[in-house]
Amino acid sequence: MPRWGMVIDLDRCTGCGACVVACQAENNVPINTEDVYHQRRAIEWIRLERYWEGEYPNIKARYIPVPCMHCQNAPCEPVCPVYATYHTSEGINMQVYNRCIGTRYCAINCHWHVRFFNFWEPKWPDSLKNQLNPNVTVRSRGVMEKCTFCIQRVVKAEHQAKLEGRDLEADEFTTACAQACPAEAIVFGDLDNPNSRVAQLVNSAVNERGYRLLEDLGTEPSVYYLKKIDPEAAAEEHSGH
């Protein structure tokens, strides 16, 4: 049984936003307009957080792509009154759209703000109607949605392996965001398979420069970040800036 996980190398990330666009296309995420952002109701299964390091003129833009962390002790799961969000045996935090009644407790309990509520019926311009992914449900108004680690690709790869009578191979497929990343900053795979890139990164690089977002909450996220500490910025941080 695989245990899916992700490593995001922030030293490679250039903040181009390809992962966001790829995710939007793969998972039938509706197009967010400007006023939707103003209302803080934009749906982005993976989003780019930007922050600044240093002060002008010695300033650096930094980016963190934030998908769902797929916590092993997910705070969103126990609060759902109808069990619409649950953990699969493969370590993916899933949202069952047809079971969701839209209480939004899960979104409130999520520290990473990676759960999104459909406040409206999703809409696409006519020119994009034919690009919807038939393997992903279009979520209707009133249900919660979130990153699924591209479960449709997971299921497809598992079925293909079953049809060919073999086990899943390491890095046989990847998520849309990892596939689109030009810098190969995002790596997705089976944490339990020693041959997969993600497991090798977790065993090596994560020890040197790895962390998980809000790790001290103890929710055991499945997404690891790699980031070399910038000594200059760290020094400035300590000197009170």
Partner 1 sequence: MQRYFRLVLFAAVMLVVLAIPVAAVLARSYFLAPTAQPVKAQPIQFPHQVHVQGMGLDCTFCHRGATTSAQATIPALEFCMNCHKIVPWEGRPDLERLVEAFQSGQTIQWNKVHQLPDHVHFVHAVHLNFGFQCADCHGDVGSMGKPGVKQVRDLRMGDCLTCHQQNGARTDCSVCHY
Question: Using CB under 8 A as the criterion, which residues of the chain lie in contact with partner 1 when the complex forms?
Answer: 86, 88-89, 92, 94, 96-99, 135-138, 148, 151-152, 155, 159, 162-163
Letter for the amino acid at 68? Answer: C
87: number of Cβ within 10 Å = 15
Map 29-41 to HEC letters.
Answer: CCCCCHHHHHCCC
**How far apart are CB 94 and partner 1 at their closest, in Å?**
4
CB 179 within 8 A of CB 22: yes
Quick one: which H or E segment has residue 44?
none
Q: Smaller CB distance to partner 1: residue 137 or 200?
A: 137
Shortest CB 128 distance to partner 1, Å: 18
CA distances to 56, 105, 212 from 151, rounded to whole Å, are 43, 23, 22
Least distance from partner 1 to the Cβ atom of residue 121, Å: 14
- Minimum CB separation from partner 1 for residue 13, in Å? 27
103 vs 137 by CB, closer to partner 1: 137
Give 128 or 235: the residue with its C-beta nearer to partner 1.
128
CA distance 25 to 19: 10
Q: Which is nearer to partner 1, 60 or 99 (CB)?
A: 99
Closest CB 93 distance from partner 1, rounded Å: 10
Place of tokens 């695989």: 2
The torsion angles phi and psi of 173, rounded to 5 degrees, stand at: -145, 170
How many residues comprise the chain? Answer: 241
Cβ contact 46:23 at 8 Å: yes
The residue (of 156 and 228) whose beta carbon lies closer to partner 1 is: 156
What's the token pair of residue 132? 């919807």
Residue 137 beta carbon to partner 1: minimum distance, rounded to whole angstroms: 4
Q: Which is nearer to partner 1, 4 or 225 (CB)?
A: 4
